[in-house]
Chain A
């Protein structure tokens, strides 16, 4: 089934360009063990050989999309999803308790903290929903499948973190101007608990606890964004604790300093993820494929005798690891299109571009 269906499904696991000793890939040592036993480029047949009588929309497998239910996807959770679920429930429990205590004792800080946590929980829930929903098979409306949801959720997470960094900066400014700073003290207990909960989250996703990661699959982005989210939260709690401690030591403007530091730290943490997800959503040329490789391919194609020129070569990444492209060739009259197509497809496939549409004009 995999081989006989449309072009895109026969190689899902192809790696390109990175040898396994690349340090940046170290994070996935455990997860991708089974993948590393596959051949580097597993391609079993030419991409343009399709058995006769196959039609995209008439094929039964695409005819009725199998009943996809979020609940069924949630039942068969993989490990990161399970961990995310635990994280979310911990957060929800903690924020409910905090909100209840805050309401009873009438403390503003606790209620606002609880709200902030609830926002974060909502975001994590969206991430989890994206993980579950992105498993759906492509259908007629979403012809490329649902994997983009993971990139979207990573983008939303990054955006929220940027907002958070901005709001912490505003808080710092506020503290700077207001000059009354005793209200931080009773938040110590809540800050410590917050820190502990978030550190548990960081531990769960420790593989992704770095700023610049090479993304190989769509889920990588999602997991990375979740990890950065809990990391940023823990930095914020740590900052609050530090500020309280400095205040008790009598340091002037401790709050402003700490909050400012936290804001800058979160911003720097999130920016690379934001830029990468933004790049994918903007249909930018995939950063994993260097421009020199692409132009080399172009030259190789044009160096063939029957090809006059190559135009409109456009490539974009659907999700990290899945690159789609389209290219237009001007060929001599009477060329055998099959050989040309096979050549071009093979050439670009070696770069990692699985979905390619080649238009040959005579």
Chain B
């Protein structure tokens, strides 16, 4: 019967001989019994749960940000301090980053249609790319501001104010980092977990521009995130497509469940937002250090610029890992966890298979992998059998469910 009707709404189906089709397990060749992320974008419970959890986190983070920002704006206007206002602008850029992440999260749940036959999962990746570009842009603006400040020698640099405002910003950012990084399963020890061997650069978000240009956008975020994210990224990337193999988690705190695990991978958008916040924190540390030094010795104004440059470099280096992952997906390259040569060898070792060519393995988004290849079989082999074997092998060994195999006879 119409087996695929509900699953693949974009298909044009003409079912000729119903009785012949009926006994045929057509469904098993497609998505199989595992929840198909392709067709049930909305209804798959695991996806939906993860998505709603991430959405809640980001929503709360946005609300917090807006509250703090309005507090700062009011306080800044009352105290007539530019530093506080610029910090508020900085928080505004935070809100922008979260908004992008939220939108990507929401959009990636949209149903596939004939124009977007693979669904909207790629929007996550593009949203993360835009986020990272924003980070780079903001870092560039910060560096420019620091240099401009140095040139203009505005004279009095209130080290104390710098310190206090940045400390406040730091606290805010730590709160958000905890919120975004906290997994309820808590198997991961991601985010803020202490003692992980990576520097927890939750310094202060310092506002470097005490009495300076109010149009300066808050660019702190960029710095901090990378540190924490770096090691976490490593975890989450290693996990997700090895269901049966024990996932080598370098952190080691992950709860290993038996059976196919849908990894507790943090959504890439939450990761991106986390990157922003952490980067902010690192920048805050830098500004706090600078503020403290200037407070102590007001004539060493160049410290401001040096701190800015160093911490901006740190922030940029932390975004590199995530940028590499994004680039890998966008270039349709073989995902890092899958060894294409081994796969090809494994397939060639099968009895009826003569050769494999045009093997393409690519990911829609991190964790969702597709495969397409042409398999050349011996002239007398049973094509259907070989097809089943190949699909089963790939699913078993590499956990790739969406494969398209073209069988050719020699």
Contacts and interface: CB of A to CB of B under 8 A. Distances in A.
B387 A359 contact: yes
B interface majority secondary structure: mixed
Contacts of A314: 117-118
A152 B330 CA distance: 8
Given A103-B151, A159-B133, A359-B406, A316 B26 contact: no
A359 B331 contact: no
Interface in A297-351: 298-299, 302, 308-316, 318, 324, 326-328, 330, 332, 337-338, 341
B360 A282 contact: no
A309 B13 contact: yes
B178 to A, nearest CB: 30
A50 B410 CA distance: 9
Given A106-B152, A144-B360, 10 more contacts: A56-B356, A143-B332, A160-B137, A284-B116, A285-B114, A295-B12, A308-B16, A315-B117, A324-B360, A359-B29
Interface in B269-321: none
Nearest to A62: B357
B216 to A, nearest CB: 11
Contact of B372 (A108, A291, A326): A326
A interface majority secondary structure: mixed
Contacts of B16: 308-309
Contacts of A143: 332-334, 340, 359-362
A357 interface: yes
Contacts of A330: 21, 24, 26
B122 A281 contact: yes
Contacts of A313: 10-12, 117
30 contacts: A56-B358, A106-B151, A108-B152, A112-B148, A140-B334, A142-B332, A143-B333, A143-B362, A144-B331, A152-B327, A163-B137, A171-B215, A278-B126, A281-B330, A282-B122, A282-B123, A285-B116, A309-B14, A310-B14, A312-B8, A313-B11, A328-B30, A328-B404, A337-B383, A341-B406, A341-B408, A357-B372, A357-B406, A358-B404, A359-B406
A155 to B, nearest CB: 8
B6 interface: no
A337 B409 contact: yes
B93 to A, nearest CB: 12
Nearest to A277: B126
Contacts, number: 196
Contacts of A68: none
B99 interface: no
Nearest to A99: B147
A146 B331 contact: yes
B344 interface: yes
Contacts of B374: 7, 357
Would you list the 7 A-B pairs with minimal beta carbon distance, nearest first? A56-B357, A314-B117, A326-B404, A357-B372, A55-B355, A302-B14, A362-B384
Given A143-B359, A299-B12, A361 B29 contact: yes
Interface string A132-158: 000000001111101011001001100
Contact of A112 (B116, B144, B383): B144
Interface in B19-64: 20-21, 24, 26, 29-30
A320 to B, nearest CB: 15
For B8, B29, B361, B372, the residue with the greatest tally of chain A CB atoms inside 10 Å of its CB is B372
Interface residues of B, number: 71
A52 interface: yes
Nearest to B404: A326
B405 interface: yes
Interface of A: 6-8, 48, 50, 52-57, 103, 106, 108, 111-112, 115, 119, 140-144, 146, 148-149, 152, 155-156, 159-160, 163, 170-171, 174, 278, 281-285, 291, 295, 298-299, 302, 308-316, 318, 324, 326-328, 330, 332, 337-338, 341, 355, 357-362
Interface in B110-151: 114-118, 120, 122-123, 125-126, 129-130, 133-134, 137, 140, 144, 147-148, 151
B17 interface: yes
A362 B340 CA distance: 28
Contacts of B134: 163
A48 B375 CA distance: 11
Contacts of B373: 357
A6 B360 CA distance: 12
B330 to A, nearest CB: 6
Nearest to B335: A141
A170 B4 contact: no
B133 A312 contact: no
A357 B340 contact: no
B6 to A, nearest CB: 12
A301 to B, nearest CB: 9
A302 B357 CA distance: 27
B407 interface: yes
A106 B344 CA distance: 64
Contacts of A54: 355, 357
Interface in B376-407: 376, 383-384, 387, 404-407
B262 interface: no
Contact of A281 (B17, B117, B126, B409): B126
A174 B20 CA distance: 72
Contacts of A362: 24, 383-384
A314 B16 CA distance: 22
B334 A359 contact: no
Nearest to B21: A308
A64 B372 CA distance: 23
A140 B406 contact: no
B364 interface: yes
A171 B217 CA distance: 12
A48 B408 contact: yes
Nearest to B144: A115
A360 B386 CA distance: 12
Contacts of B361: 143
